[in-house]
Structure 1
């Protein structure tokens, strides 16, 4: 288990924020957080970031029904699996995903931020750089470099070898066999 030194002495535990969506990487990050970092009395905050509407309207309650149902079912499943852990849902809107995530983590006062990281093929990376498009990995890198709390990007290594590749400020693609 990853030990965190920011545990509170009042019995409430730590706050762990996991960025979630419907991707396999986000599910893997949540699974890793539950098995490697979350302890009894901790609070898990499931953060979902949506793009800000282009019309300029910023309605925080304006999320689509499918997303809301997905987050509620995820919360319910976690409460069944780990009843000793408090689970919260948070939905944020922002133009750019990275700064929105960092701001949410800062506002909630989390001690650990966990993100799923996708492996991109070399061809995809070259095409993205050439086209000048932003990618999700930039958001992950932004969070790792700018968050005030410990930030970990998690990616499953593969089925054959098992384990996870962990990226933090100090370690890039560190293989954790667990």
Structure 2
């Protein structure tokens, strides 16, 4: 990997098979609550925040929200890009997003992981565990009103829901409201579409 391109970029090009775990006991629920307290209430403790990124606008909104609302000085922001189809050079997206993060909040360390292929959910679960992530942030894209009336969910909404119910750290789905309304809708294990005017 050429280090001259960017100091924060770390690329992983590997295929891995992972098994996912689900929350199933009160003890595990208490463990997740403790992770929430460690990640959100003790800002003096360094934490790792991971954002799953792609070419979408809602992914970029989630990244910027994580940067401004979750990270503190000295924290590590990890941008995870799972590339199934090589539309762009793998470094292009994460390099541009990482540069944007460093420009917005230079006191936060930024790294990027590019993983080629593999099941998306299993890859996220594995990387969260491997890197000991404190908070996972995912961009949400709303379904069309007609699709929602019929009880349907977009593939992005399904993926966010699966991560919230599967990943063993505080997982937050973020959706930016329209310009007329403003703010963000936040989904976690405990809240669904909680509105934050920020």
Normalising TM by the smaller chain, what interval?
Answer: 0.7 to 0.9
CA distance in 1, matches of 2:89, 2:116: 16
Q: Distance in 2 between matches of 1:174 and 1:103?
A: 28
Q: Aligned partners of 1:67, 1:145: CA distance in 2, in Å?
A: 29
Q: 1:14 corresponds to which residue?
A: 47
- Give the drift of 1:164: 0.4
Higher relative contact order, structure no. (Cα contacts within 8 Å, ≥ 6 residues apart): 2
Q: TM-score, normalised by structure 2?
A: 0.72
SS of match in other structure, 2:89: helix
Distance 1:177 1:128 in 2: 27
1:44 maps to 2:77: yes
Describe the SS at the equivalent of 1:47: strand
In structure 1, the gaps of 5 or more residues are 54-62
When residues 65 and 121 of structure 1 are mapped into structure 2, their CA distance, relative to the original with a 3 A threshold, is closer
> Are the structure 2 counterparts of residues 37 and 4 from structure 1 closer, same or farther at C-alpha, using a change threshold of 3 Å?
farther
| 1:58 corresponds to | none
What per-residue deviation string (whole Å, max 9, x for no partner) do you get for residues 85-126 of structure 1?
110111224443222212111111010000000000143458
* 1:80 corresponds to 2:113: no
What residue in structure 2 maps to residue 96 of structure 1? 119
2:141 aligned with 1:113, yes or no? no
State the SS of the aligned residue for 2:46. Answer: coil
**RMSD, aligned CA:** 2.7
Alpha-carbon distance change, 31 to 6 in structure 1, aligned in 2, over 3 angstroms: closer
Aligned residues: 161
- Tell whether 2:189 aligns with 1:169: yes
**SS of 1:142 mapped into structure 2:** helix
